[in-house]
């Protein structure tokens, strides 16, 4: 991969749209060097960034994600963090995270001291020019990218540095995406695994009778159905 020169071009912005291929990169992490696409392999991936090591909100977030890692693993999802600090700094910070959250953080954290990856993924804070480190470089925001096994970006969430994320919501989004891919459905607001789903608009009523025998029509464009038990358990 050619070296990134730090310029935010239209090409880079366009590459971050939903449905596009996640930019590949090589990086040092707390678990050793990786090539991003190769590291993902046949799994799903959650890539999420943090403004800085040894900061309060980031510490609570990483502890929460570490505790939920078994749930992500059950869904064939790999997690990887990013913070604009060195690997040595990350390693010391992980000790704090494990102590404070009473957890064992095992997923890798990328060392991105130069912001090369953060820039390529547009993780930089553009709304607050004062939100910079001691060298005057803009902090990374709290970005979340969900990438599927084909390396396609399926979901992007962006939070300001001041607002902590909801780890359960990231897991819920994974459930929604994976369930939709398998069963030609979409999920309504506040959906949780096991709740009724919406029959995809591309499925006709005749086809829905076979796929979802218990579906019900609320409006011609809104059809709810429970998933058959064997599909919920799959």
> Is 58 a known active-site residue?
yes
Which pair of structure tokens corresponds to residue 222? Answer: 């809104």
User: Are residues 63 and 55 in contact, defined by beta-carbon separation less than 8 angstroms?
Assistant: no
Q: What is the DSSP string of the chain?
A: -PPP-S---HHHHHHTSTTSBPPP-EEEETTEEEEHHHHHTTSEEEEEEES-TT-HHHHHHHHHHHHHHHHHHHTTEEEEEEESS-HHHHHHHHHHHHHHHT----S-EEE-TT-HHHHHTT-B--S-TT-B-TTSPBPB-EEEEEE-TT-BEEEEEEE-TTS---HHHHHHHHHHHHHHHHHTEE--TT--TTS-EEE-TTS-HHHHHHH-TT-EEEETTEEEEPPPHHHHH-
Catalytic residues: 58
């Amino acid at each position: 991969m050619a070296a990134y020169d730090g310029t935010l071009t239209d090409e880079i912005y366009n590459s971050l749209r939903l449905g596009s291929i996640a930019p590949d990169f090589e990086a040092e992490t707390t678990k050793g060097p990786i090539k991003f696409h190769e590291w993902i392999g046949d799994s799903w991936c959650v890539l999420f960034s943090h403004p800085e090591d040894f900061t309060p909100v980031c510490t609570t977030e990483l502890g929460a994600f570490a505790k939920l890692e078994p749930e992500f693993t059950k869904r064939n999802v790999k997690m990887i963090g990013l913070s604009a600090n060195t690997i040595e700094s990350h390693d010391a910070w992980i000790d704090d995270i494990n102590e404070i959250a009473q957890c064992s953080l095992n997923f890798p954290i990328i060392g991105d001291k130069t912001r090369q990856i953060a820039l390529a993924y547009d993780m930089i804070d553009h709304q607050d020019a004062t939100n910079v480190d001691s060298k005057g470089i803009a902090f990374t925001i709290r970005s979340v990218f969900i990438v599927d096994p084909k390396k396609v970006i399926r979901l992007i969430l962006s939070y300001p540095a001041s607002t902590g994320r909801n780890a359960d919501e990231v897991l819920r989004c994974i459930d929604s995406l994976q369930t939709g891919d398998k069963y030609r459905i979409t999920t309504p607001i506040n959906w949780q695994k096991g709740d009724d789903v919406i029959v995809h608009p591309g499925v006709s009523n005749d086809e829905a009778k076979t796929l979802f025998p218990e579906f019900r029509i609320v409006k011609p464009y809104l059809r709810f159905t429970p998933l058959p038990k064997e599909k919920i358990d799959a």
